[in-house]
Structure 1
Amino acid sequence: MTEMMDGTSPTPKAPPISEMFQKFALAFKTKTFEFFADESAAENPPTSTVSPSSTQPKISFPIRKNPDVGVALPIESCLEAQVQENQSKLRVLGIASDHLQAGIDRKDNEVSALRKQLVDLQKSNFKLANRATHKFTKILIDLMRKAGWDLDLAANSVHADIEYAKTGHNRYAFLSYVCLGMFRGFDLKKFGLDEGDTEILCNGHVSDSVKTHSSLKQLLEHVSSSPVELLHRNPNCEFSKFCEKKYQELVHPTMESSIFSNLDKNEEVLNSWRSLRIFYESFVNMASAVWMLHKLAISFDPVFEIFQVERGLIFQWYIWKI
């Protein structure tokens, strides 16, 4: 109090130690917070979102990933997809190929079966033609006998100087005469009906597929109906011309008039090859069998061959059976 009253300034007191420690601690704490704040800002920089401008050009690059991580590249994925697609197509084509091959094998089996049937039909038709020629020859011999013919003399006129083991064996001369007449022209495409008829190609030569198809068609049409009915229905057909030609070759006018003029008056007699019903039907059936045999032979590729045994050869039955 005395000093203040005298007007003299008082001397400042030194701050206490506790206050100094508080200020120091506060400054240290502040610096510590600033240090850690700067370090956190350095580790996590602030992010900013920038919306692209409509006028700013977009630049894109193909995304390629590291192949080491096991993820396929886009180009490799496309190629793999194409490979899988092609493999799928190949599997489909393989199934279709197997199906077509099975169809081909089935058709081959059918063709083989039909070829076997065709061969069997040819053998059957040959036997039919053989029986038909025997039947017609027998009827012809009976007519000649009724007409008073000398059968030995007639047989000698067909094949001279033949010594027969038995009297009745002269019928083989007439059978030979009928067979040679019916099969004359068998190696020709039209069976000798046309003047310019050409020979059938044999021995493995290529046959005409068009004419082969025509022969098969005629064969099927002929088989589907009776030969006698066929002549009545179409008297100008090719088969009718064949019958007319073969009859004129076998039974010439002198022979015909001699046979039919001496028959009994009770029998129906006409001035043509249709004179007797039995004679007529037997000849037509024989001609039909030979006609079908010819059409059937042309249908084969190569076509069947016909051969003629030379005179003077020794007859062997087992060869004939073959």
Structure 2
Amino acid sequence: MDAVDRRAVTPNKSILARTFAKVLNVRAATGVAPDDGAQKTKTQETVKQDSMSNRRQSFGNDEKLRHKSSERRQSFGFGNDEKLRHKSSERRGNDEKLRHKSSERRGNDEKIRHKSSERRQSFVFGNDEKLKHKSSNMHQSFGDNNEKLRHKSSNMHQSFGDNDEKLQHKIGNGRQSSGDVDEKLRHKLATEAFLAKLFASVSTLKAAYAQMQFAESPYDGEAIQAADQIVVSELKNLSGFKQSYVKKQFYEESSPEKVQVLAELQEQKSLLKTYEIMGKKLDSQLRLKNSEIIFLKEKLEETKKENRLIERRLNASGLLSNPDNLQFSGLNPNHFISAVRQTVKSVRQFARLMINEMELTGWDLDSAARAIEPDVDYWNESHKCFTIEAFVCREMFDGFNFPHFVPPNKWEQPKKQHRLFFDRFTQLKSLKTREYLVKNPKSKFATFCSAKFFRVVHPKMESSLFGNTNHTNVLRTGEFPDTSFFYAFSDMAKRVWLLHCLAFSFEPEASIFEVKKRCRFSEVYMESVCEEAFLSSDGKTKTKTETETEPVVAFTVVPGFRIGKTVIQCQVYLS
């Protein structure tokens, strides 16, 4: 819609108001009115009514304008009337233009209403056709779904019927299988009850037989008779069990659970009785062994007494250790054997003293034993003391086969000095070791004693045992320590020195020997320091077949000696 040209309107308040009214009438005639910034389309009747009211209002406004114009001509005079008539004619021209525009707009409104009616008609009729088509399709789909539902319903009814048949069939089979399971369970319980009664009867029979054996020693007639009756009764029960098993009569038990519990209780009672009888039998054997031990101890004491009597007789005859009237011409191997025993005893005492000192200072005896003799399997942990004893013997008897404990020169001819060695033996045997060393610090024995102490007790060992090296320092000055440890060592050294002198007093001289590791044990040349090597796992002496795989030599503890045809066995440790 074209807006009114403001330049064609005079600046008069009534004319401006009339112009606004015409503009509003034009908008009302087109049916478009502002409503909060949105346009609303009016119906055809409303548009006609608005158009008629606008026309009446327009005519009323014209009458008012003519009336005001006549008044103004009268008030302003003829000149003004002419001006007013001219303006009025201009306004009428404008009104004609406005009416022309209004008629054009009404034509446009008619076109708009026609198009609106066509659209409503096309929209309504088109939607009706679509709705009818959709409705027909929906009716057709509903019919198809109903057919499918009826088909599914019939299938479900048929499947439910089949399932009912299957369920009834399964229920029938379940009842039948339940009956079979109950029958199997009853059969199993009856079998277990029968076996429980069978084992209970066997246990009772064993207990009665054990009672019968126990009553035989010492003999108990009443106990034997009672046990015999029980044995006969249980044998009859076992025979009855056999018959009932063959005839399948043991299935007829009314309460197999109760029978099984009672049978197990009877079996436990019979086992308890058997263990009681075995305990009594072991107590009897223990008493017998104790009596044997007492008897053997008494026999050992008697044997020791006999040995002491024999030693006294030998001493009286001058054949044993160091008699004062021993002559060079009367030497025999028995004198040497006695000297060997005393020497070994002295060496063992000193080895025990060294072990005690090691234990007091916290030495690891296992490590010390492995350092001396590696890769040895000991029968007992306490046997590691034999390793320390073997070390002392090895150092003390080193060079024993040489006259002065050292190899002679190649150009030095061996001399027959049997008498000289016998004189040394006679001179030293009756003297105290401490007094002899003090009086003869430059003697052969004093030199031997100092040299062997350095071999047996190394300065590092001395420092570890005593916290100092006083023994070594004093010996290097040519003097001798005044300690109990050195006195024990000097006594042992004296025994070795005397044995060496006595060995070279014989013609031919006595010789020393050792056996190598892993050698086969021989009773002719060897003596074992541990009896465990000849005992079986049950503590008994091995039989001939068991000794075929006897242990081998691990190391030599005390060397052996030969004097002519006489052999003094060496002491070895077997592994």
TM-score tier (shorter): 0.5 to 0.7
Q: Distance in 2 between matches of 1:115 and 1:261?
A: 50
Q: Offset at 1:226?
A: 1.4
Higher RCO (C-alpha 8 Å, min separation 6):
1
Corresponding position: 1:164 with 2:370: no
Q: Distance in 1 between matches of 2:338 and 2:376?
A: 32
Q: Is the 8 A contact 1:136 1:286 kept in 2?
A: yes
**C-alpha deviations, 1:119-160, integer Å up to 9, x for none?**
222111100110011000000111111111100000100010
Q: Is the 8 A contact 1:189 1:198 kept in 2?
A: no
Q: Distance in 1 between matches of 2:368 and 2:389?
A: 12
Q: Distance in 2 between matches of 1:260 and 1:221?
A: 34
Q: Offset at 1:189?
A: 1.3
Structure 1 segments unaligned to the other structure (5+ residues): 1-112, 202-206, 263-267
1:156 counterpart letter in structure 2: R
SS in 2 for 1:230: helix
**C-alpha deviations, 1:16-50, integer Å up to 9, x for none?**
xxxxxxxxxxxxxxxxxxxxxxxxxxxxxxxxxxx
Q: Is the 8 A contact 2:331 2:506 kept in 1?
A: no
1:242 aligned partner: 448
Corresponding position: 1:143 with 2:357: yes
1:283 aligned partner: 489
Structure 2 segments unaligned to the other structure (5+ residues): 1-326, 528-567, 570-575
Greater per-residue helix proportion: 2
After the TM superposition, which residues 119-198 of structure 1 pair with which residues of structure 2 at under 5 Å, given as runs? 119-192=333-406, 196=408
2:312 aligned partner: none
2:436 aligned partner: 230
Q: Offset at 1:312?
A: 1.5
Q: Is the 8 A contact 1:147 1:259 kept in 2?
A: yes
2:232 aligned partner: none
Q: Distance in 2 between matches of 1:257 and 1:155?
A: 19
Q: Offset at 1:272?
A: 4.9
Q: Distance in 1 between matches of 2:382 and 2:430?
A: 38
1:124 counterpart letter in structure 2: S
**C-alpha deviations, 1:159-190, integer Å up to 9, x for none?**
10111111111111111100000000111111
1:76 aligned partner: none
SS in 2 for 1:254: helix
2:382 counterpart letter in structure 1: G
SS in 1 for 2:441: coil
After the TM superposition, which residues 271-310 of structure 1 pair with which residues of structure 2 at under 5 Å, given as runs? 272=474, 277-310=483-516
2:457 aligned partner: 251
2:415 aligned partner: 208
**C-alpha deviations, 1:257-282, integer Å up to 9, x for none?**
110118xxxxx999557667332222
TM-aligned CA distance change 1:296 to 1:255, over 3 Å: same
SS in 2 for 1:165: coil
Q: Is the 8 A contact 1:188 1:198 kept in 2?
A: no
TM-aligned CA distance change 1:306 to 1:199, over 3 Å: farther
2:355 counterpart letter in structure 1: I
Greater per-residue strand proportion: 2
TM-aligned CA distance change 1:255 to 1:316, over 3 Å: same
Q: Distance in 2 between matches of 1:269 and 1:294?
A: 25
TM-aligned CA distance change 1:276 to 1:235, over 3 Å: closer
133-142 or 212-221, which deviates more:
212-221
Q: Offset at 1:214?
A: 1.6
Q: Is the 8 A contact 1:269 1:275 kept in 2?
A: yes
Q: Distance in 1 between matches of 2:351 and 2:507?
A: 33
Q: Distance in 2 between matches of 1:199 and 1:230?
A: 34
1:163 counterpart letter in structure 2: D
The percent identity for this pair of structures is 29
Q: Is the 8 A contact 1:134 1:175 kept in 2?
A: yes
Q: Is the 8 A contact 2:503 2:509 kept in 1?
A: yes
Alignment TM-score, normalising by the size of structure 1:
0.55
SS in 2 for 1:306: strand
1:143 counterpart letter in structure 2: E
Q: Is the 8 A contact 2:396 2:496 kept in 1?
A: yes
1:218 counterpart letter in structure 2: R
**C-alpha deviations, 1:59-114, integer Å up to 9, x for none?**
xxxxxxxxxxxxxxxxxxxxxxxxxxxxxxxxxxxxxxxxxxxxxxxxxxxxxx96
Cα-Cα RMSD: 3.1
Q: Distance in 2 between matches of 1:305 and 1:200?
A: 20
1:249 counterpart letter in structure 2: R
**C-alpha deviations, 1:277-316, integer Å up to 9, x for none?**
3322221111111111111111111111111111122445
Q: Is the 8 A contact 1:216 1:299 kept in 2?
A: yes
After the TM superposition, which residues 95-134 of structure 1 pair with which residues of structure 2 at under 5 Å, given as runs? 117-134=331-348
Q: Distance in 2 between matches of 1:245 and 1:133?
A: 17
Q: Offset at 1:218?
A: 1.3
Structure with the greater alpha carbon radius of gyration: 2
Number of aligned positions between the proteins = 198
Q: Offset at 1:220?
A: 1.3
Q: Distance in 2 between matches of 1:196 and 1:249?
A: 20
SS in 1 for 2:512: coil
